[in-house]
Amino acid sequence: MKTKILFTFIVWGLLLPSCQAPTRAYPETMATPTNATVPSLVERGKTYSFSVKTEAGAICHAGINFWDIDESWLHEELPIIKANDSGICQWEWQIPMSAKAGVAGFRGYVEIGEQEDNVFPETFCIEKCDF
């Protein structure tokens, strides 16, 4: 009887590790928050600054979405840039004369090492916004 109990505990002890759930690796650091700064109201033909505050050396991807006067939804890619020592990526963009008045969007993401999920969406108004 003792041998049977001892055998059961040995088998149970050998099988227990294989029955456990696999361990999951979690990142040791949290993602750096990304904050976008855009003008709230812009005028056609003028140039404005759009920026993202992130981590120094991060790679920034951005684009502007807007309606044109022909009722087409356009996306204009901005140059891919590297954040400066203060963690700032900054673009200058001239509002096209063909842009329709209304809501536009500044969108993109930031690459920090292997991570690419720091998405920044912001909206702004061209000439006026009707909310």
**Res. 78 pLDDT band, cuts 50 70 90:** very high
pLDDT of residue 10: 46
Q: Which pLDDT score is estimated for 23?
A: 54
Range from 35-44, 71-80, 109-118 carrying the lowest mean pLDDT: 109-118
Report the chain's mean pLDDT, rounded to a whole number.
Answer: 81
| Residue 53 or residue 17, greater confidence | 53
Q: Measured between alpha carbons, how far is 73 from 32 in angstroms, rounded to an integer?
A: 31
Positive or negative CA dihedral for 56, 28, 109, 42? negative
Q: What is the pLDDT of residues 30-65, one digit of tens each?
A: 455 678 999 999 999 999 999 999 999 999 999 999
Determine if the pTM surpasses 0.85: no
What six digits make up the tokens of 35?
A: 């904050």
The first and second tokens of residue 26, run together, are 């979690």
Instruction: Give the chain's domains with CATH numbers.
Output: 35-126 (2.60.40.10)
Distance CA 51, CA 42 (A): 15
